[in-house]
Structure 1
Amino acid sequence: MNFRDRIKGAFFGMALGDALGLGTEFMSAEEVKYYYPGGLRHFSQIIRDGHRCLWKRGEWTNDTHIVVMLAESIMEKGKLHLNDFAARLKKWGTENPADMTDFYHSLFANEDWAEHPKEVTHRIWKNNGVYRASNEALLRAVVIGMLGNPHLTDNAVDISAITHDDTRCSACSAIIAVMADSLLCTGKPADYAQLVEIANMIDPRTLKYLEIAHEGEFEDLEIDDENSLWFARKTMASALWAIWHCNSAEEVLYRIVDAGGDADTNAALAMGLAGLQHGYAALPDIVNDLIDYKRMEDVSSRFINYIENNCK
């Protein structure tokens, strides 16, 4: 397997996990069993309630839209450019996307945010007493991991901090980026001791979840707990657990989706890493039924060319 297949696997893995995970998003594991007795295995099964009817079956959500925006920004600017990415996010916000997280509105409403995203985000979070280490920024770290370079962890922290001014989010982002880089370059998970060092250096509160992912049972994460299902640390840990304990991309997808919780984000992140580990060819066949398949094929192909010419 070559790195081209791994990169394509990452992009399509994120889109697939996102689109199928929508079907169990915000459900408990018991609710998943009720609505999908044999497990959720195809887009056609996705129930049409007040939340899920905002998207067509097989359509990815905001999680993948933002990944595509980041990739487009990097390719057009020739590097990670925080201001350009912030400007794209802000423009996207004016289009009233479905299910956009509420605190994005306060960021985008600030006229200086796109030019000074980290500084403005820090000020808004501090002044408003925001304390929510949520998972919305984590998928960006997979893209950062594919870029590599000596500033990998710094870039991962920065790409998270432009919207999430919390060191728990920063630590999770850095850990995911390092894992993505290792899977792309070697096909093997990053050294656990290295990830522990990152957790201890940026925010030791991340370490508990890292340890569960490596040594514990999947159920220990309680990712469908309604009071914590959006935790960045849980999303990070569920993805890492899948990489360390599942044997195929298909097993990763179904294990995460059938667990409920914030399933679209959890599955998108886990499948982004699984795509890097196992490659595009190992993804379940339903990937071909993604509504915007051709768009993702174009984005991933151009990103592969960008990496070939500029990074790896």
Structure 2
Amino acid sequence: MANSSASGDAASVKCQPPTAAELESRNAQITATIYGQCIGDAIGLLTEFLTKSEAKKNYKQKSLEYGMKIPDFHRSRWQVGDWTDDSDQMLLILLSLLDQRGETDVKDFAGRLKNWMLHGFPEFGDLAGMGIGATTKAVLGNAYFRDDPQKVAYQVWERKGGNIAPNGGVMRTSVVGTHCWWDTSTVVKNARDFVSCTHYDQRCQASAVSVSVCISLMLQRQPQHLDKKGKYNVDQLIKDTFSIAGQCLKDEEDKKLLWQYLSCKNVKELELDDAGKIGFTYKSMGAGFWALKQDDFRKAIQKVTMQGGDADSNACVAGAMLGCKLGMDKIPKSWKSGLIHKDWLDQHIERWLSLQAEMATKSSTVE
């Protein structure tokens, strides 16, 4: 069995550790990435598992808000303004890294994931984790998951014919791109580690690496990724992301498909409500990279949401990536203020930003 956590030469790019001023200048951008994920998730819930035509029928308003969600069984399980399992799992990564002082510990994350499945976030009033996908559920149900999560994930993948690539990993890894963002090789390794705990397929790993690496490159602000006005050169970001993420894949056809989804110019091409395929990992990733090409947070997230399908997963990836690009000021006020766990989120983001300062200091000492 191949070692899924080894990054090999997938990314050798490493910027100098950031200065205190550079860290400070990224704080709002990192905050917007995390908020963007949670907000996209909560808005996406409005149309999750609906077809595009059903979404249009139920939501005729031009401006979506949390309180508009239809009162069916699926949506009624979450309170108005709550995010779903996608962002819950993203926050489990954040909490694991916080408590492990910035070090990736897949067993620690596996334990948190298992505990979340059983109990949810008690501080939010949860009784259990809701919305768990079939692959994640199969992996977490294995008695040996806590001991060797990546081995168990591999076994589940192999039993399924080695050809299942759901989006349950990519939906949670945007935060990885904000951790030690100046060191691309670390971002690659962490993305692969956190996704392969449940989703072993190389396409799952490539999609998670794509999202995480692109976010880290935006935070690095390298000259080739900026135009003369200081705005992002999105085409170059995508090309460099592909050159790194493509190294997760052995099959040339998989690489071509990866590029197809990364470079998509029209969200309709993603066919996000395609029956039987809505959970494909490249679809959520593709929604994120389509959103990255946009300049209006509300319009982009609404566009993704109104495509239906696995809309919360698609919109949370889109929200994280576009949040990183545009910043907090461009996220609608009603969407920010309407998150019901906003105070909890703010407290943990503050801890997260402090951790990044610690990691930068540590990196400088090693240098």
Is TM more than 0.5 here?
A: yes
| Matching of residue 230 in structure 1 with residue 279 in structure 2 | yes
- Residue identity opposite 1:163 in structure 2: T
Question: For residues 39-58 of structure 1, what are the structure 2 equivalents within 5 Å?
Answer: 39=62, 41-58=64-81
Q: Does the 8 Å contact 1:40/1:46 carry over to 2? A: no
- Distance change (3 Å), C-alpha of 1:202 and 1:298: same
| Matching of residue 185 in structure 1 with residue 220 in structure 2 | yes
Q: Shift in Å at residue 214 of structure 1?
A: 2.0
Q: 3-state SS of the aligned residue for 2:108?
A: helix
Q: Does the 8 Å contact 1:209/1:234 carry over to 2? A: no
**What residue is the counterpart of 1:202 in the other structure?**
248
**What residue is the counterpart of 2:159 in the other structure?**
127
Q: Does the 8 Å contact 2:107/2:146 carry over to 1? A: yes
Query: RCO higher in 1 or 2 (8 Å CA, sep ≥ 6)?
Result: 1
**What residue is the counterpart of 2:200 in the other structure?**
165
Q: Does the 8 Å contact 2:33/2:320 carry over to 1? A: yes
Structure 1 stretches of at least 4 aligned residues deviating more than 6 Å after TM superposition? none
Q: 3-state SS of the aligned residue for 1:191?
A: helix
Q: Does the 8 Å contact 1:39/1:258 carry over to 2? A: no
- Measured in 1, the distance between the counterparts of 2:44 and 2:289 equals 17
Determine which of 67, 80, 86 is the counterpart of 2:104: 80
**Greater share of helix residues, 1 or 2?**
1
**What residue is the counterpart of 2:358 in the other structure?**
309
Identity percentage of aligned residues = 24
Q: 3-state SS of the aligned residue for 2:318?
A: helix
Q: Does the 8 Å contact 1:199/1:206 carry over to 2? A: no
Q: Does the 8 Å contact 2:210/2:241 carry over to 1? A: yes
| Matching of residue 21 in structure 1 with residue 44 in structure 2 | yes
- Measured in 1, the distance between the counterparts of 2:261 and 2:168 equals 21
- Distance change (3 Å), C-alpha of 1:261 and 1:39: farther
| Matching of residue 37 in structure 1 with residue 78 in structure 2 | no
**What residue is the counterpart of 1:152 in the other structure?**
187
- Measured in 1, the distance between the counterparts of 2:257 and 2:140 equals 33
Q: 3-state SS of the aligned residue for 1:110?
A: coil
Equivalent pairs counted in the alignment come to 311
- Measured in 1, the distance between the counterparts of 2:146 and 2:64 equals 40
- Distance change (3 Å), C-alpha of 1:215 and 1:105: closer
Q: Shift in Å at residue 99 of structure 1?
A: 2.1
Q: Does the 8 Å contact 1:172/1:206 carry over to 2? A: no
**What residue is the counterpart of 1:176 in the other structure?**
211
Q: Shift in Å at residue 156 of structure 1?
A: 1.2
**What residue is the counterpart of 1:68 in the other structure?**
91
Q: Does the 8 Å contact 1:33/1:39 carry over to 2? A: no
Gaps (5+ residues) in structure 2?
1-23, 120-127, 222-230, 362-367
Q: Shift in Å at residue 40 of structure 1?
A: 5.2
Q: What TM-score, normalized by structure 2, do the two folds share?
A: 0.80
- Measured in 2, the distance between the counterparts of 1:284 and 1:164 equals 33
- Measured in 2, the distance between the counterparts of 1:181 and 1:163 equals 23
Gaps (5+ residues) in structure 1?
none
